[in-house]
C-alpha cells in the first residue's frame, strides 16, 4: 500500500485502535498523500475541541492552536540548532498589523484582509469583539488567564472599523498583548457559534466542545475523544509567518496509552512523532539511529519539591532549609531524568544575579548544615512525614522519592512514600491537604514576575505551597505595571532572592521536551503549552 510504510499503520494501529484510516486525498497519489500526512501518537487525549473548556487537557490546548487563530502570536527563535517560541517577539496572526498607543494603554488590531472562517465566510471585527467578550465573560479557563493581562470586561474591546478592533487598558500591563497569543484567546466565528447558543449557554460552550467555529490552519475532519482526531488543512489560511498554508495536508492524532508501543511505532516508521515517551526509552531509541530526537529543556517549566507552608512543621523556614540541605540533587536528577533536562540547583549566590526565572538556585547538599538547621528549629531528633507523588508521574517521581526518603533518614526524618491517583492528588493539593510532595508547573507567559506571581503568591491553585510573604506579594503586584526596565529588573531579582531564601518550593530541574520523530521531519518547535504546533512542521 502506498499509504503506509510497510503496511505497518494498518496492522499496528488500525486493528488495535478502532479501524483502518484511509489517508488518501482527492486527486493525489497515495505516496504523495502519505508524504503530506503527519501521524502523531500520544499517551493523553484531546478531550474537547474548545481549549477554553474547564478540564481541557494539555493535548486539547495543542489542537486548539491549530484549529483556531488568535489575534497575535509569539515568534520563533533558533539556538543550538533547535527552535523555541520567542516570548519577546510578538507578531500578528489573525491581525496583520498591531498598533500600540504611546502610553501603552491601547492596542489596535488590523485584521488580515481576505481572512475567512472554515465555512468560507469573511472574518469581521464583530467576530473578534464577540470572541474577546466571550474570553472575559464565559465561565471558562479564559477569564482567569486573560485577567493576568488586565483584560477583564467587555467594554475594554471596541470595534474600530470593518477590519479593526481596539483593546483598551486602565494602565499599561506588560502581559496584556502576550495573553492574546495563548490557546485561551481563540477567535471564533460568532455568526456560527451564536446559532448554537441558548439562554443558559449564551457563549455556545456545550456545542463548541464537540464542534468548531474556527478559521485556523486546520479544520476538524473527525474527532473521537480518547481515540483519535483527524485534522485537514485549511488551504485559505494565511496566518503563518510566511503567509502560506501549512505543509501537511492532514494530521492524524492517535491515543496510544503505552509508551513502549508509541516508541515501537515510531521506530518502525508507522508513526511520525511523539513528545511523551519515557526518558528511559529515549537513549536506546537514539542509539539505534532509526528516529530523530529534538531535545529541548522546558524553558518555562519546572519540577519541584513542594512544602505546604501552612502546616507544621513546614511552616517553619528552618525545617524547609534543613531538608533542602539534605537532599542529593545530582543523584535525583540522574535517577529521575537520566540527566535529560536542565538543572535548577547548584548555584552559589546569596542575592539573585539576574532577573531571569527560573534560574539555578543555591541548593546544595550539606548534611552538617541540615542537622544544624533542624536543631535551630527545635527538631534535632527529627520527625515523621509523608511524601506524595502522582501515579501519572511515577516514572520520574518514584526514583526521586526513594532517594529523598534515604537522604532524610540521615538527619532523623522518617518519610513514608505515598503514590496517589492523579485526580486524588490534585484535589488534595488544591485543598492544602498534602504536606510534602513533588509537582510540576509551566508558566505559559514566562515573564519572571508572572512566573513568581503564579507559583509563589496568592491564595490560588498554582501556589502549590500556599506561600505568603508580604514583601513578595507587594513586589509581584507592582512589577506587572512597572514601565521602568531597571526598576522591573531589580524587583524581579529581589523576588527570586526571597524564594531562594525561604524555600517554599525547591525547584529541581526543567525536564526536556523530548520530541522523537521520523528522520525527515523538520521544524519542530518548543511552545509554551508544551504541545506540538503542526503549523511549524514539514517533511524534508
Rounded CA-CA distance 66/420 in Å is 34
- Do both 54 and 196 map to the same domain? yes
- Do both 448 and 526 map to the same domain? no
Number of domains in the chain: 3
Q: What is the pLDDT of residues 335-389, one digit of tens each?
A: 999 898 999 999 999 999 999 999 999 999 999 999 999 999 999 999 999 999 9
Residue 363 has a pLDDT of: 98
- Do both 228 and 308 map to the same domain? no
Mean of per-residue pLDDT scores for the chain: 92
Q: Is residue 126 part of a domain?
A: yes
- Do both 507 and 524 map to the same domain? no
Q: Is residue 281 part of a domain?
A: no
Q: What is the pLDDT of residues 134-155, one digit of tens each?
A: 999 999 999 999 999 999 999 9
Q: In degrees rounded to 5, what are phi and psi of residue 344?
A: -120, 15
Domain CATH code at residue 87:
3.40.190.10
Q: Is residue 207 part of a domain?
A: yes
- Do both 250 and 130 map to the same domain? yes
Identify the three-state secondary structure at position 80. coil
Is residue 22 very low, low, confident or very high in pLDDT (cuts 50, 70, 90)? very low
Rounded CA-CA distance 398/407 in Å is 14
Chain-centroid distance, C-alpha 148: 16
Taking 60 as the threshold, does the pLDDT of residue 230 lie above it?
A: yes
Residue 79 has a pLDDT of: 86
Q: Is residue 282 part of a domain?
A: no
Taking 60 as the threshold, does the pLDDT of residue 229 lie above it?
A: yes
- Do both 171 and 253 map to the same domain? yes
Rounded CA-CA distance 450/472 in Å is 12
Taking 90 as the threshold, does the pLDDT of residue 13 lie above it?
A: no
Is residue 5 very low, low, confident or very high in pLDDT (cuts 50, 70, 90)? very low
Q: Is residue 343 part of a domain?
A: yes
- Do both 17 and 85 map to the same domain? no
- Do both 26 and 36 map to the same domain? no
Rounded CA-CA distance 329/397 in Å is 13
Q: Is residue 346 part of a domain?
A: yes
Given a contact cutoff of 8 angstroms between Cβ atoms, the answer to whether 174 and 480 are in contact is: yes
Q: What is the pLDDT of residues 238-285, one digit of tens each?
A: 887 778 899 999 999 999 999 999 999 999 999 999 999 988 788 889
Chain-centroid distance, C-alpha 378: 41
- Do both 526 and 501 map to the same domain? no
Q: Is residue 291 part of a domain?
A: no
Chain-centroid distance, C-alpha 10: 32
Residue 486 belongs to domain spanning: 301-512
Rounded CA-CA distance 207/199 in Å is 13
What pTM does this model have? 0.87
Given a contact cutoff of 8 angstroms between Cβ atoms, the answer to whether 115 and 106 are in contact is: no
- Do both 188 and 202 map to the same domain? yes
Domain CATH code at residue 474:
3.10.105.10
Residue 80 has a pLDDT of: 84
Beta bridge partners of 97: 110
- Do both 13 and 55 map to the same domain? no
- Do both 216 and 151 map to the same domain? yes
Taking 70 as the threshold, does the pLDDT of residue 14 lie above it?
A: no
Amino acid at each position: 500500500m502506498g499509504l503506509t510504510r510497510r503496511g505497518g499503520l494498518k496492522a499496528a494501529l488500525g486493528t488495535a485502535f478502532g479501524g483502518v484510516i484511509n489517508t488518501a486525498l482527492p486527486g493525489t497519489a497515495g505516496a504523495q498523500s502519505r508524504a503530506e500526512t503527519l501521524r502523531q501518537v500520544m499517551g493523553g487525549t484531546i478531550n474537547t475541541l474548545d481549549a477554553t473548556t474547564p478540564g481541557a487537557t494539555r493535548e486539547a490546548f495543542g489542537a486548539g492552536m491549530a484549529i483556531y487563530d488568535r489575534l497575535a502570536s509569539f515568534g520563533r527563535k533558533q539556538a543550538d540548532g533547535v527552535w523555541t517560541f520567542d516570548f519577546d517577539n510578538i507578531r500578528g496572526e489573525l491581525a496583520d498589523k498591531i498598533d500600540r498607543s504611546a502610553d501603552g494603554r491601547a492596542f489596535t488590531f488590523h485584521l488580515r484582509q481576505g481572512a475567512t472562517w472554515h465555512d468560507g465566510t469573511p472574518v469581521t471585527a464583530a467576530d473578534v469583539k464577540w470572541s474577546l467578550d466571550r474570553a472575559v465573560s464565559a465561565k471558562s479557563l479564559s477569564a482567569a488567564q486573560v485577567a493576568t493581562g488586565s483584560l477583564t470586561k467587555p467594554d475594554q474591546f471596541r470595534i474600530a472599523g470593518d477590519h479593526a478592533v481596539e483593546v483598551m487598558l486602565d494602565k499599561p500591563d506588560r502581559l496584556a498583548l502576550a495573553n492574546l497569543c495563548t490557546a485561551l484567546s481563540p477567535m471564533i466565528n460568532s455568526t456560527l457559534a451564536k446559532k448554537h447558543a441558548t439562554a443558559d449557554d449564551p457563549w455556545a460552550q456545550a456545542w463548541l466542545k464537540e464542534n468548531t467555529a474556527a478559521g485556523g490552519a486546520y479544520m476538524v475532519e473527525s474527532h473521537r475523544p480518547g481515540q483519535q482526531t483527524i485534522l485537514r488543512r485549511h488551504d485559505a489560511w494565511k496566518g503563518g509567518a510566511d503567509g502560506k498554508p501549512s505543509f501537511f495536508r492532514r494530521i492524524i492524532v492517535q491515543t496510544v496509552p503505552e509508551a513502549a508501543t508509541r516508541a515501537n511505532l515510531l521506530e518502525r516508521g508507522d508513526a511520525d512523532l511523539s513528545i511523551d515517551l519515557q526518558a528511559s526509552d529515549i537513549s536506546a531509541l537514539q542509539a539505534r539511529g532509526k528516529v530523530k530526537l529534538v531535545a529541548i529543556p522546558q524553558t518555562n517549566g519546572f519540577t519541584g519539591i513542594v512544602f505546604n507552608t501552612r502546616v507544621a512543621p513546614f511552616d517553619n523556614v528552618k525545617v524547609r532549609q534543613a531538608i533542602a540541605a539534605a537532599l542529593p540533587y545530582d543523584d535525583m536528577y540522574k535517577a529521575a531524568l537520566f540527566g535529560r533536562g536542565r538543572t535548577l540547583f547548584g548555584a552559589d549566590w546569596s542575592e539573585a544575579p539576574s532577573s531571569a526565572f527560573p534560574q539555578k538556585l543555591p541548593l546544595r547538599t550539606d548534611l552538617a548544615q541540615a542537622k544544624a538547621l533542624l536543631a535551630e528549629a527545635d527538631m534535632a531528633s527529627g520527625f515523621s512525614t509523608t511524601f506524595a507523588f502522582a501515579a501519572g508521574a511515577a516514572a520520574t517521581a518514584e526514583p526521586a522519592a526513594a532517594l529523598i526518603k534515604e537522604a532524610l533518614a540521615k538527619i532523623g526524618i522518617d518519610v513514608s512514600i505515598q503514590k496517589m491517583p492523579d485526580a486524588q492528588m490534585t484535589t488534595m493539593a488544591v485543598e492544602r491537604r498534602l504536606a510534602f510532595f513533588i509537582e510540576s508547573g509551566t508558566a505559559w507567559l514566562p515573564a519572571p514576575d508572572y512566573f513568581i506571581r503564579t507559583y509563589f503568591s496568592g491564595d490560588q491553585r498554582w501556589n502549590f505551597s500556599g506561600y505568603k510573604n508580604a514583601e513578595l506579594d507587594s513586589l509581584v503586584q507592582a512589577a506587572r505595571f512597572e514601565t521602568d526596565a531597571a526598576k522591573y529588573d531589580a524587583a524581579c531579582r529581589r523576588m527570586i532572592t526571597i524564594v531562594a531564601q525561604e524555600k517554599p518550593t525547591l525547584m529541581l530541574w526543567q525536564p526536556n521536551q523530548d520530541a522523537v520523530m521520523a528522520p525527515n521531519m523538520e521544524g519542530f518547535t518548543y511552545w509554551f503549552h508544551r504541545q506540538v504546533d503542526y503549523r511549524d512542521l514539514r517533511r524534508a
